[in-house]
Structure 1
Amino acid sequence: MDGGAGSAIGTTAWRWAIDLAILIAIGLLMGFLGPFGSHHTPIVGRYIYWMICMVGGGLIGFGGDELLRRSIVEPWRRVAAVSVLMTPLVTLLVLTTQHLLMGGPFGWSGYLELLWQVWPILLAVMVVRALVWRRTPGRVETRTVIAAPLPEAEETFRRRLSAKRRGARLIAIEAHDHYLKVHTDAGEELITLRFADALAELARAHGWRVHRSWWVAADAVEAVRWRRGAGEIRLVGGLTAPVSRTHGPVLKEAGWF
């Protein structure tokens, strides 16, 4: 297992540990308060009941949140959706727990009554979790001092460009099958060249390969955004380029995040 995979697993385990701690804390609070008539239950049974309901129900809700993360990106819309979609399953858990521990009835009438008790609690738990994991946008606005490239470092590659762009500022190179789109401050130009050959010709230039089909000039980078294992570079002139997990470390070493 490489370091990146190990780090990702460690981060996921840490997040779930914090999620579990949140649910345990809420379960202890509910056991202490004894809402919905549960205060009549002996104290040990009451705490067991609420711990099962809060931890089990919360994990169901959190699991639903993870499943919907890609399809519903906005956190608060996802909180609302999860609280509605997961309430029937959590209600079944609560009804079963109530029946087994307290001898309550197990039927549709009890289930429907519990729905309106479970939904606001699940919604509140999902809101608490969303607040705990709320983040500011994952944008790093730093600048790295880049030495000017040696004149000969880009010479071979520049000879492939038209006279208009041969002396222009090189911003990025984007691969398109057997063609390259060369981005300069004098505009874009398509040339016939393999991406691997272009990288070889620019090996001594100040720049980085940031994606399987992108190379960017170091002095053209204005900002880097990195989030959830992928990123994006903002370049001069408003151009943006993707950053893959594989090539992200070169930007990290350069101090961009």
Structure 2
Amino acid sequence: MSDGRTLLRDLVLMAAAGLFLAALGPFGSITAPILVRLIYWPGVIVGGGVIGVAVDELGGRRFANPWLRWIFSSVAMTPAVCVLVAFASMWAFGPSRVRDFFDLVWQVFVISAGVMGVRQLLEKPPSRPAPDPVEVQSDAAFRQRLSARHRTARLIAVEAEDHYLRVHTDLGSELVSARFADALAELAGVAGFQVHRSWWAAADAIEGVRWRRGRGELKLAGGLTAPVSRTHAAGLKAAGWF
């Protein structure tokens, strides 16, 4: 739900939009006295905006896609706002013809979509939770498999290649003779994740995770990428990566 500061921002936005429309005088309202426009336009925009915010909070937030949320809120709020505008227009401009009601619906929808669109753009996207800290334990047993050059390097990932392991570090990669299962056992206490049947990645080397057409991809330090299978995605999800 929106907090008090967000609601205050929305009210200021709607009032400013109402004053702008009062000065602009769209849809023939320019012929009305300025005092009438200054009461009419801020009144219907703020009143309609309150209806729109209520609709958005109650139903719009169910849509993860911001475009679907914007369309839903703009359409769903239009009937109620039309009733409000019809009564306000009767006060400000006098009775209108029945056939003008269809023009009113379109005008209300256009303005509602514009106001809700600006509100949507101003809303901050939800921040991704930071990964939970993981207690780092020694990986000395695994490092003994590496050459002297890579033994003290930063460990980024381990990739299985047939009966060998390709160990990726910040000093480059090295091929060692070992089973992937043995490497996982030796890295069991180290902060990291098995992300695929043939990949393990160090937690502090992960820079991002993304999904494409049902397949995951891990972005690692040094420009390295690793596949993420659905079977092994649970650990990354529990740590807050997606």
TM range (shorter): 0.5 to 0.7
Matched, 1:58 2:49: yes
SS of alignment partner, residue 95 of structure 2: coil
Q: What is the alpha-carbon distance in structure 2 between the residues aligned to residue 171 and residue 143 of structure 1? A: 14
Matches within 5 A, 1:64-79: 64-79=55-70
What corresponds to 2:188 in structure 1? 169
Q: Which runs of 5+ in 1 are unaligned?
A: 1-8, 150-163, 173-182, 189-218, 226-233, 245-255
What corresponds to 1:125 in structure 2? 115
SS of alignment partner, residue 7 of structure 2: helix
Q: Which runs of 5+ in 2 are unaligned?
A: 139-181, 210-217, 221-225
What corresponds to 1:176 in structure 2? none
Equivalent pair of 2:61/2:69 in contact (CA under 8 Å): no
Q: Which runs of 4+ in 1 moved over 6 A?
A: 140-146
Q: What is the alpha-carbon distance in structure 1 between the residues aligned to residue 237 and residue 6 of structure 2? A: 30
Q: What is the alpha-carbon distance in structure 2 between the residues aligned to residue 88 and residue 38 of structure 1? A: 21
2:29 partner letter: S
Equivalent pair of 1:170/1:184 in contact (CA under 8 Å): no
Equivalent pair of 1:24/1:55 in contact (CA under 8 Å): yes
Query: Structure 1 residues 103 and 139, CA, compared in 2 at 3 Å: closer, same or farther?
Result: same
Which stretch of the first structure deviates more once superposed, 112-121 or 25-34?
A: 112-121
Matched, 1:242 2:232: no
* Shift in Å, 1:39: 1.6
* Shift in Å, 1:171: 6.8
Query: Structure 1 residues 114 and 13, CA, compared in 2 at 3 Å: closer, same or farther?
Result: same
Matched, 1:35 2:26: yes
* Shift in Å, 1:15: 0.8
Query: Structure 1 residues 20 and 184, CA, compared in 2 at 3 Å: closer, same or farther?
Result: closer
What corresponds to 1:249 in structure 2? none
CA distances 1:72-117 after superposition (whole Å, capped 9, x unpaired): 1111121122222221111111001111333323x74343231121
Query: Structure 1 residues 12 and 224, CA, compared in 2 at 3 Å: closer, same or farther?
Result: farther
Q: Among 92, 99, 119, which residue is 2:90 paired with?
A: 99
Q: What is the alpha-carbon distance in structure 1 between the residues aligned to residue 29 and residue 128 of structure 2? A: 47
Q: How many residues align?
A: 175
* Shift in Å, 1:64: 1.6
Equivalent pair of 2:60/2:72 in contact (CA under 8 Å): no
Matches within 5 A, 1:205-224: 220=203, 222=206
Query: Structure 1 residues 67 and 138, CA, compared in 2 at 3 Å: closer, same or farther?
Result: same
* Shift in Å, 1:184: 7.3
CA distances 1:32-58 after superposition (whole Å, capped 9, x unpaired): 111112122221111110011111112
What corresponds to 1:138 in structure 2? 127
Matched, 1:81 2:77: no
Q: TM-score, normalised by structure 1?
A: 0.53
Query: Structure 1 residues 166 and 33, CA, compared in 2 at 3 Å: closer, same or farther?
Result: closer
Equivalent pair of 1:141/1:223 in contact (CA under 8 Å): no
Q: TM-score, normalised by structure 2?
A: 0.56
**Percent identity of paired positions between Structure 1 and Structure 2:** 32
Equivalent pair of 1:79/1:127 in contact (CA under 8 Å): yes
The RMSD of aligned alpha carbons is 4.2
1:125 partner letter: V
Equivalent pair of 2:193/2:203 in contact (CA under 8 Å): no
SS of alignment partner, residue 27 of structure 2: coil
